Amino acid sequence: MYLKKLHISNFRCFRDYTIEFAPGVTVLFGKNGSGKSTLIHAIHKALSMLMYTKNEYENVTVKGKRKKKLVGYKTITRNNPYLHTKGFANDDFNNLEDSFIEIASTVDFGSDLMDVNWKMSAKASNSKLRPTEFEDAYLAFYSWQENGGQLPLLAYISDGFPHKEDNKKSQVKAKIRALRNFAYFDWDEEEGCTNEWILRLEDNLFRQAALLAKGLVKNEQGLIARAQLQEEDEPEFQELSHEQQCVSECFTAFTSNSVFDSENAIKFNMFTLGRTKQNEGKLCIQTPNGAEYDFRKLPAGYKRLFNIVLDLAYRSYILSERSTTNNHGLVIIDEIDLHLHPQLEQVVLDCFKRTFPFVQFIVSTHSPLVLTDIETQNSRNRVLKMTPACDAPEEWRNVHGIDYNQMLEENMDVSKRKPEIQKLFNKAWDEVADKNTVAAKQTVAELESKTPADQIELVQLRAIINRIEIIGK
């Protein structure tokens, strides 16, 4: 699946707005109020077309009694009340006096279903969605997936994920194993189901251990020599083992980066049930050196990253009907740099793309390290600067590998230093340019009293002042 383009009319801060996305990674950045969150909500509403449910009933007689029977076509949302198209509210209208609101989409679902166009629209602030604008697109999509097309992975990771608690645990728990379309669960909500995935993986490891325990074999000294599966347990064990392997491979791919080999980094080796007294029976990550970390108590940065990986891995696994995690789809991550050390900011996009190579990512960030890590020379990725005026976004090319200070100053309108300190540096350089060494020394001395004296720029200033005093230039 590839979301190619959105055209937004009269929606929140957008009056008339068109944006095109890259098939690989699209990075959105801009000042607060530039429309990043609004754009994400527009994508939600646009793709809720996939959750369309058409209810048509006719009266039928069953055993002498009159009943209503559903005669509309089946939908992928059948038996899942948490999936539905998203309409518009009064506060979604940019201008209530206008009689329309509209989000138009262009999407490729696969090589045999490309350039699908539809609109989510309403005539007025008090009117419902107009299904005629998207029903044909839905029917094409429905027919395609009924004939073998793979349902795409859809996920939205908010800036609160995974800190928000699931509030539908009972409903989720009852259905999580059966629903192929679970990867769509509450697509429009800022809420993950991480706790359910943790419980599922924990249960998986417990059940594998129990099956092995049934076939323990002891040697002549009465010591456990090996665990041998009983024949009737082999199918269940293989199913559990395959699921664990698929999820684990995602973590192995994600942490296959030198940053995770650095000091104090948590590198994934395998999932285990905790063996230490404080972690006994809990889902843990074991590192190559044998250390174990309670998955629920990971440091904030790792917790968010690893929970996202677990969430996407399991949703992909269910969508593929328990065969793989290499699904196509669209994942939105708001504030991808949240809680991350600069080392991780530099590689986080690469880690996600390596782990989920067939997924289109749309992410927002305020980090220059994230922005300069992405290669934009090809058509696979885009960096888009959004403006508070909500004008058309400005595309940046060739930002890969540029100096972070340059990115801050020239592209993000941020001084590389506190303004009053930078003002003193500028003053010192002007005095050096005028060969006023007395004034320059005084300014440098003032800087040394307010900021570390061993900074490269201060070292350079002192060297140039000395040279001017010795040779006059």
- Per-residue pLDDT tens over the stretch 339-383: 888 888 888 999 999 999 999 999 998 888 888 888 877 778 898
Q: Sign of torsion, CA 438 441 445 446? A: positive
Within a domain: 411: no
What is the band of 174 on the pLDDT scale with cuts at 50, 70, 90? very low
Within a domain: 329: no
Tell me: do 226 and 345 sit in the same domain. no
Query: By residue range, what is the domain housing residue 427?
Result: 419-471
- The CA distance from 270 to 258, in Å, is 18
Where does a domain end: 324, 352, 380?
324
- DSSP string computed for 302-330: HHHHHHHHHHHHHHHHHHTTSS-S---EE
The domain total for the chain is 3
Structure-token pair, residue 383? 């960096």
Are 286 and 270 in contact by the 8 Å Cβ rule? The answer is yes
Within a domain: 162: no
- Per-residue pLDDT tens over the stretch 208-232: 888 887 766 666 655 555 667 777 8
Helix segments in 95-233, DSSP class H = 135-146, 169-175, 194-213
Tell me: do 141 and 2 sit in the same domain. yes
What is the band of 180 on the pLDDT scale with cuts at 50, 70, 90? low
Q: Sign of torsion, CA 262 263 269 270? A: negative
Which of 5-9, 168-172, 253-257 is predicted least confidently? 168-172
Residues constituting the chain: 473
Within a domain: 154: no
CA distances from 196 to 37, 269, 314 (A): 27, 22, 10
Q: Quick check: 99 pLDDT over 80?
A: no
Tell me: do 318 and 340 sit in the same domain. no
The verdict on whether omega for the bond into residue 131 sits within 30 degrees of 0, i.e. cis, is: no
Where does a domain end: 292, 324, 356?
324
- The CA distance from 473 to 469, in Å, is 8
How many CB atoms neighbour CB 220 within 10 A? 6
Are 443 and 427 in contact by the 8 Å Cβ rule? The answer is yes
Helix H or strand E segment including 472: none
pLDDT attached to residue 343: 85
Which of 39-48, 163-172, 294-303 is predicted least confidently? 163-172
- DSSP string computed for 413-432: ---SS-HHHHHHHHHHHHHH
Tell me: do 133 and 46 sit in the same domain. yes
- Per-residue pLDDT tens over the stretch 396-413: 777 776 777 777 776 667
- The CA distance from 395 to 404, in Å, is 18
Tell me: do 84 and 119 sit in the same domain. yes
The verdict on whether omega for the bond into residue 162 sits within 30 degrees of 0, i.e. cis, is: yes
Helix, strand, or coil here: 11? Answer: strand
What is the band of 124 on the pLDDT scale with cuts at 50, 70, 90? confident
Question: Which is more confidently placed, 106 or 264?
Answer: 106
CATH number at 344 reads 3.40.50.300
Tell me: do 138 and 210 sit in the same domain. no
pLDDT attached to residue 75: 58
Q: Quick check: 68 pLDDT over 60?
A: no
Are 161 and 192 in contact by the 8 Å Cβ rule? The answer is yes
Closest CA to 85 of 124, 114, 123, 55: 55
The mean per-residue pLDDT over the stretch 277-304 comes to 88
Tell me: do 138 and 18 sit in the same domain. yes
Within a domain: 182: no
Q: Quick check: 69 pLDDT over 70?
A: no
Q: Can you give the pTM of this predicted structure?
A: 0.83
What is the band of 85 on the pLDDT scale with cuts at 50, 70, 90? confident
Within a domain: 183: no
Tell me: do 299 and 208 sit in the same domain. yes
Which of 69-83, 280-294, 434-448 is predicted least confidently? 69-83
How many CB atoms neighbour CB 265 within 10 A? 16
Tell me: do 281 and 236 sit in the same domain. yes
pLDDT attached to residue 192: 60
Tell me: do 227 and 202 sit in the same domain. yes
Supply φ then ψ for residue 105, to 5 degrees: -125, 150
Tell me: do 208 and 291 sit in the same domain. yes
Within a domain: 173: no
Tell me: do 293 and 370 sit in the same domain. no
What mean pLDDT is reported for the chain? 81
What is the band of 57 on the pLDDT scale with cuts at 50, 70, 90? low
pLDDT attached to residue 219: 60
pLDDT attached to residue 356: 94
% of the chain residues with pLDDT over 90: 22
Where does a domain end: 375, 401, 427?
401
Within a domain: 168: no
- Per-residue pLDDT tens over the stretch 14-26: 888 999 999 999 9
